[in-house]
Amino acid sequence: MANTSSAKKADRVIKRRTAVNKARRSRVRSSWSKVEDAVAAGDAKAATEALRQAESDTMRAVSKGVVQKNTASRKVSRLTQRVKQLAGTKKRA
């Protein structure tokens, strides 16, 4: 338990920031799931739209320090690759 007033304040701040960061992380993961769901459904248009939103959410989370830059770039790259692959298979069919 915090004893000093500054430690008590730090504890309050940490709790607030943790809640905000959890919400941001949840939003990013949800946007990734939307892309995955659209790809699984075979809907190229929805996947492209979801990817655009996911990339925006992911990079915003990076700027806020919620997700590491390299992790975010790797995830966006892999999602983009899957969406492009889906679009490519649709064009050939």
Indicate the number of domains in the chain.
1
Which residue type is seen at 37?
Answer: D
Q: Which domain holds residue 52?
A: 5-92
Distance CA 16, CA 76 (A): 28
* 3-state secondary structure (DSSP) of residue 3: coil
- Written as six digits, the tokens of 30 are 């949800």
Distance CA 55, CA 81 (A): 13
For the CA atoms of 30, 31, 37, 43, the dihedral, rounded to the nearest 10 degrees, stands at 160
Q: What is the pLDDT of residues 53-81, one digit of tens each?
A: 999 999 999 999 999 999 999 999 999 99
For residue 14, pLDDT beyond 90? yes
Going by pLDDT thresholds of 50, 70 and 90, the confidence category of residue 91 is low
For residue 44, pLDDT beyond 90? yes
CATH code (residue 20): 1.20.58.110
For residues 81 and 55, is the Cβ–Cβ distance under 8 A? no
Distance CA 69, CA 73 (A): 6
